[in-house]
Structure 1
Amino acid sequence: MKKYMYLWFILMFSFGLYAQEQQLYNENIDGKQQLANAIMEAQKSQKHILVQVGGNWCPWCIKFHKFITNMTSIDSIIKANYIYVPLNYSRENKNTEALKQLEYPQRFGFPVLVILDAGGKRIHTQDSGLLEKGNNYDTAKVVTFLKQWTPKALNPSNYEKN
């Protein structure tokens, strides 16, 4: 009997850890407020905003988040240049007003990535399917995408002759 109780405890604990790990998106947060907070932070830090729209129901959304946080080269690009926002889209909370503000990126499927400047203006929407390779994401494609939309990359003084 003790063996079964022990086994049951291990299984329940494992499922609990799995469920916690999957909660990237908070379904209770107002997306418009989330964006407003990110804009304030971006203005202070002079960074752009990387919004990852998706949900805990979406395996590719979770996979993308793990990919960008576990890959040191990508994580460092994001931390240096972006305020990262995981914006929830689910049956319970579609964040309709936030998606309207982002100019309806859900048309690309999920996850979809939206780059905002520090003032909150949308400057790019990225279909994440174009960043995939096989059953994962392509490091070179993701790095190129992130580098192309940094504040430095969009600074006109980098392209004008003196």
Structure 2
Amino acid sequence: MGFGTILALGVVAVAPLQAARAPKVAATSLEALRQPLPLPYDEKADADRDVAAAKARARAKGKRLMIDLGGNWCPDCRVLAGVFDLPEVKAFLQRHYEVVTVDIGRLNKNQQIAGHYGIDKLKGVPALLVVDPKTDRLLNDGHLFALADARHMTPQALADWLAQWV
């Protein structure tokens, strides 16, 4: 093995994130999602306990932690939940992520979850936090609100976004 090969291997080894291949989504439009759209957020859940448990599971399984902050009132949150329920996306998420949903009310509840990762104010929902559970470090800073317009995206575009963080 030459020096160039060793150097190249070293560069690959230290790359911060390696995107996975996104699942090929059969649904070509949001109209194909199961109706009514899911109501994914438990308004009575203990968010701190749920996030801590999901982080522990992610660490134990070698997966990323995905914290989905939103509310059942939000159409984009419900569309995203509908895409998450598609069989190919659900399998992808189960392989790569430990997902936990957190109800943020009308942006007035469970703000401590976002605050823990240095987010002072949510600018929209859904807000997805992708976290390395070993270091508790936010991996997608600057991209938290990319899916806040989920209802104007295709299921494939949403799946492609998910794939870039694993």
TM-score by length of 1: 0.68
Larger radius of gyration: 1
**Structure 1, residues 127-159: CA drift from partner, whole Å, max 9, x if none?**
234764xx4432332222222111xxxxxxxxx
Matched AA of 2:164:
Q
- The SS at the match of 2:129 is strand
Residue in structure 2 matching 1:52, options 58, 64, 68? 68
Q: Structure 1 residue 123: deviation in Å?
A: 0.9
Greater length-normalized contact order (CA 8 Å, ≥ 6 residues apart): 2
Q: Which residue of 2 aligns with 1:14?
A: none
Q: Structure 1 residue 118: deviation in Å?
A: 2.0
Q: Which residue of 1 aligns with 2:56?
A: 40
Whether 1:115 aligns to 2:130 is: yes
Supply the distance in 2 between the matched residues of 1:112 and 1:65 (Cα, whole angstroms): 12
Percent of aligned pairs sharing the same letter: 21
Supply the distance in 2 between the matched residues of 1:116 and 1:122 (Cα, whole angstroms): 5
8 Å CA contact 1:105–1:112 kept in 2: the answer is no
Supply the distance in 2 between the matched residues of 1:121 and 1:48 (Cα, whole angstroms): 11
**Structure 1, residues 4-45: CA drift from partner, whole Å, max 9, x if none?**
xxxxxxxxxxxxxx7xx7542112222222211111101111
The structure-2 alpha-carbon separation of the partners of 1:101 and 1:33, relative to structure 1 and needing over 3 Å to count, comes to same
Q: Structure 1 residue 104: deviation in Å?
A: 2.2
8 Å CA contact 2:58–2:64 kept in 1: the answer is yes
**Structure 1, residues 44-63: CA drift from partner, whole Å, max 9, x if none?**
11100111110111121111
Q: Structure 1 residue 109: deviation in Å?
A: 0.3
Show the 5 A alignment for 1:32-111: 32-70=48-86, 72-91=87-106, 94-104=109-119, 107-111=122-126
| Consecutive unaligned residues in structure 1, runs of 5 or more | 1-17, 151-162
Q: Which residue of 2 aligns with 1:149?
A: 165
Matched AA of 1:109:
G
8 Å CA contact 1:64–1:137 kept in 2: the answer is no
Q: Over aligned residue pairs, what C-alpha RMSD do you find?
A: 2.5
Normalized per residue, which structure has more strand? 1
| Consecutive unaligned residues in structure 2, runs of 5 or more | 1-35
TM-score by length of 2: 0.66
8 Å CA contact 1:105–1:114 kept in 2: the answer is no
- The SS at the match of 2:85 is helix
Q: Which runs of 4+ in 1 moved over 6 A?
A: none
Normalized per residue, which structure has more helix? 1
- The SS at the match of 1:64 is helix
Number of equivalenced pairs: 128
Q: Structure 1 residue 108: deviation in Å?
A: 3.2
